[in-house]
């Protein structure tokens, strides 16, 4: 099995929950699984879990411009 096929079968590592998940979205060079995406959207800003989401999202770096 090629590495690309294996990569699609297993999934990608979510930047928030840090688990391998098959579906999600890409934000710059990072991956957010659909479960975390739903939790993030539905979490109130007063919830302690919201601070955890912010901490994890800070790992996402804006890619530089390459010439």
Which range marks the domain in which residue 31 is found?
3-57
66 assigned to some structural domain? no
> Quick check: is 47 in a domain?
yes
Query: What is the chain's pLDDT, residue by residue, as a tens digit (67 residues)?
Result: 455 554 455 789 999 999 999 999 999 889 999 999 999 999 999 999 999 999 999 988 766 676 6
Q: Is residue 19 part of a domain?
A: yes
Assigned domain for 15 exists: yes
| String of DSSP letters for 30-58 | EEEEHHHHHHHHH--TTSHHHHHHHHHHT
Does 22 fall in a domain? Answer: yes
Overall number of domains in the chain: 1
Residue 1: predicted pLDDT: 46
56 Cβ neighbours under 8 A, 6+ residues apart: 15, 16
Report pTM.
Answer: 0.74
- 18 assigned to some structural domain: yes
Establish if 62 belongs to a structural domain.
no
According to the model, what pLDDT value does residue 3 have? Answer: 52
In a domain, 35, yes or no: yes
């Amino acid at each position: 099995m090629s590495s690309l096929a294996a990569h699609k079968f297993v999934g990608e590592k979510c930047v928030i929950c840090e688990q391998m998940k098959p579906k999600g979205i890409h934000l710059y060079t990072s991956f957010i699984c659909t479960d975390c995406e739903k939790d993030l959207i539905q979490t109130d800003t007063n919830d302690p879990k919201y601070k955890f989401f912010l901490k994890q999202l800070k790992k996402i770096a804006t890619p530089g411009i390459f010439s």
